[in-house]
Amino acid sequence: MKKILIGVILITFIAAAFTLTARVDNVDQNYGVEIVMDGESYAELKSLAPEISLQKLKDNGITALAVYQQSLEDFLDRGSLKRLEAFDIFLAGNELQTRLENEGIEIDQLDNSAIFAVFSASLKDQLENLEADLKAEYSAELISTSDYDLLYFPNWHESLEDLSLGYNSNQAAEAQELGLKIAYRSNNKVNSFSALKNNLELLQPEILIFDGEEVTGYPDKIEETAALMRDYNLTFGKIEAFIAAQSGAEKLAVLNDYDLLRTHSMQQDEVEQADDREIINRYLLSVRERNVKLIYHKPYLKGSQLTSRNLDLLASLSTSLKAEGYNPGSSEVVNYYSNSNWDLLAILLGVTAAGILLLNYFTTFKYSKVMNIFFLLAAGFAFFLLQLDREILLRQITALGAAVIFPSLAVIIFLLEKDKGAEELEGSLSLSYIFFNFTAAVLTALIGGVFVSGALNTSDFIFKINDFRGVKVAFLMPLIIISLYYFVQPGSKNLKKEIPKILESVIKIKHLILAGILALIAIIYVGRTGNFPLLPVPAWELTVRSLLEKILYVRPRFKEFLIGHPLFIFSLYIAAKKRKELYFYPILMLASVGVITTVNTFSHLHTPVMISLLRTFHSYWFSFIVALILILFYQGFNYFYQKYYNLWG
């Protein structure tokens, strides 16, 4: 029965791996990327360094300019609008006064109304396009005389300063003349939907990036926003959630059939505090490891030599992207991708077989035939969820099952089931024993990772519209299962006798210290996991990460190569009887972290498959180096302990 289960796992693993190769071809091998300059930051930079220009920025790497949807207040600040008081109208002369009186506007009663003079021809064009909506929603009117163009609000309130009226047309025209793409930035204030609808007609941008905490139209007009985007063939620049979570973004992505580009940006304060290399590395990391296709860039605005610093940064960024095989300015949207439900059912079959195998280890294979019923239960459950149109839930459950089961199997089969340690063997036998069992454990975890990635292999998870649920459960449950197996030791102990003995055990100070250490490890372990970890990454680790990325291109994960895997190898090295001592339990927990993390690596669906494989490989071989140091330290400690203990003892 054991061989049959392993055969099912291997066959379905091949099917899962095949679906990932399709994902590599359809999604991961898309090397186009955009470098978008923030329009407002560019305007500020231009005021600080007049010699800078869009032409120079384009020559050094930018491929698009972000043009903001601007409010009435913005146009007031720029001088494109000016609010007129009664005295201003009086000074303007009789023609204006007469025209206003003919419109029914009492000049001496402007307390609850407002008149604005329009000084920009492009703004006038935008207002004419928006006039019908302004009149319908705010009773506003456009009034023209031989000398003035006016915007009149009969019922004025300061909140109307947030009205969206247009965009910086001069900036947009210059960018389009240079052949730069336009990324339009739309907010969700007051009449933003009406402004978006009218400005898209005038501007004809290629990309839409939302400004603020909500997408335009949220919550009631998201469908209309999606329809507008389809009508104007707009690509959604979806900002990564940990940078700026925007309400309605996920729904909008689904409505537009995932016609989006993952977008990464840095806050202005972050830019000012970083040097060129830090900024470039951060951008490269987002493109390389998170499938970011749109780099949203804000320039340096503080310090000296702003022109050369900003141009040099962009030139280096563009060169670095090209050196890694990316093509600035040629981004392409990936069509919706998903493996089939039959692929998912095959993966579920493999995960179920692994679950049955795990249960058999707990029951010492006494009920192996009876456990085949789980195949039927899993199939029935899967078809039930699919009939209810809950495919996403089925994918999440299947992935969670794989994330829990496979690392548990790796530790139980290739560590806890072993009745000897490498230090009890001689020469090449010792090395081959460690190499075989550790490699088999990592491969088992890798199979689990492929099942996780295969189960979640759709654009919903690749673009993080849906997330892998239960990340912390996937980290903790294997530890619980492994702990249970370690203490119960199926087949070697009589549970009826052992349970009362455990309950009557005397708790000593060393046990409390051990419990405290485990609690601390658990807090750090859980706090550093998940999409939004509770504990920050220390500065020294960030430095080491950066160094490893420079050397290895893709850095291995600390929990694998520095903690989990080396301790797994060390656990294989020490004598089997030492694994039964109380002090080994925390070592076991830490040793298990490596294979758990290996599986978790593949739950990051936004990371290209080949990057995850390379990360796992680096963790694997690097672990031997760290483990060798650990074993040499252990041998040295034993040598001196025995020498001086015998001498003084």
DSSP 125-136: HHHHHHHHHHHH
Specify the higher pLDDT residue, 482 or 99: 482
Mean pLDDT along residues 146-167 = 90
- pLDDT of residue 533 exceeding 60: no
Q: Hey, which of 139-148, 272-281, 550-559, 575-584 has the most confident mean pLDDT? A: 272-281
Q: Nearest 5°: phi and psi at 604?
A: -85, 85
Percent over 70 (pLDDT), the chain? 93
Lowest mean pLDDT among 62-76, 303-317, 320-334, 629-643: 629-643
527 or 462: which carries more pLDDT confidence? 462
Q: For residue 101, what pLDDT is reported? A: 81
Q: How far apart are CA 617 and CA 353, in angstroms?
A: 26
Q: What is the pLDDT of the chain when averaged over all its residues? A: 90
Task: Report the alpha-carbon distance of residue 588 to residue 576 in Å, rounded.
Answer: 13
- pLDDT above 90 covers what percent of the chain? 69
Q: How far apart, in whole angstroms, are the C-alpha atoms of residue 348 and residue 376?
A: 11
**Weakest-pLDDT range from 61-70, 389-398, 532-541, 571-580:** 532-541
Q: Are 422 and 372 in contact (CB under 8 A)?
A: no
Where do the CATH 3.20.20.60 domains begin and end in the chain? 31-73+167-328
| Residue 415 contacts residue 436 (beta carbons within 8 Å) | no
For residues 575 and 634, give the distance between their C-alpha atoms in angstroms, rounded to a whole number. Answer: 12
Which helix (DSSP H) or strand (DSSP E) does residue 123 occupy?
A: helix 121-138
Contacts (Cβ under 8 Å, ≥6 apart) of 413: 361, 440, 441, 444
pLDDT in tens, 90-102: 887 777 887 888 8
Q: What sign results for the dihedral spanned by CA atoms 267, 273, 276, 279?
A: negative
Q: Could you tell me which residue, 467 or 406, shows the higher pLDDT?
A: 406
Q: Is the pLDDT of residue 645 over 70?
A: no
Burial-class residue 301 by CB neighbours within 10 Å (0-12, 13-18, 19+): middle
Distance of CA 76 to the CA centre of its chain: 39
User: Burial letters for 329-362: b for 16+ Cβ neighbours within 10 Å, e otherwise?
Assistant: bebebbeebbbeeebbbbbbbbbbbbbbbbebbb
Residue 648: which pLDDT band, with cuts at 50, 70 and 90? very low
Q: What confidence category does residue 583 fall into, taking pLDDT thresholds of 50, 70 and 90? A: confident
Residues in the chain: 649
Residue 530 has pLDDT above 60, yes or no: no
Give the pLDDT of residue 94: 79
Q: 600-631: per-residue pLDDT in tens?
A: 999 999 999 999 999 999 999 999 999 999 99
Q: Which pLDDT score is estimated for 294?
A: 98
Which residues lie closer than 8 Å to 292 by C-beta, 6 or more apart? 33, 240, 262, 263, 264, 283, 286
Q: What was the pLDDT predicted at 493?
A: 60
> Could you tell me the pTM of the whole model?
0.86
The CATH number of domain 31-73+167-328, selected from 3.40.710.10, 3.20.20.60, 3.30.450.20, 2.40.110.20: 3.20.20.60
Distance from C-alpha of 146 to C-alpha of 262, rounded to nearest angstrom: 49
> What whole-number distance in Å separates Cα of residue 424 and Cα of residue 639?
16
pLDDT given for residue 514 in this prediction: 64
The tokens of 622 are what?
């690097």
Residue 647: per-residue pLDDT: 46
DSSP tag of 243: T
Query: How crowded is residue 231: how many other Cβ atoms within 10 Å of its Cβ?
Result: 11
Q: Is the dihedral of CA 575, 577, 583, 588 positive or negative?
A: positive
In the predicted model, what is the mean pLDDT of residues 526-545? Answer: 65
The pLDDT tens digits for 256-272 are 999 999 999 999 999 99
What pLDDT, on a 0 to 100 scale, did the predictor assign at position 367?
Answer: 82
Measured CA distances, 224 to 190, 196, 220, 298 (Å): 16, 11, 9, 30
Provide the pLDDT for residue 637.
Answer: 83
User: What pLDDT score does 649 carry?
Assistant: 43
Q: CA 470 to CA 449: how far, in whole Å?
A: 15
Model confidence at 5: pLDDT above 80: yes
Kindly report the number of other CB atoms within 10 A of residue 32's CB atom: 16
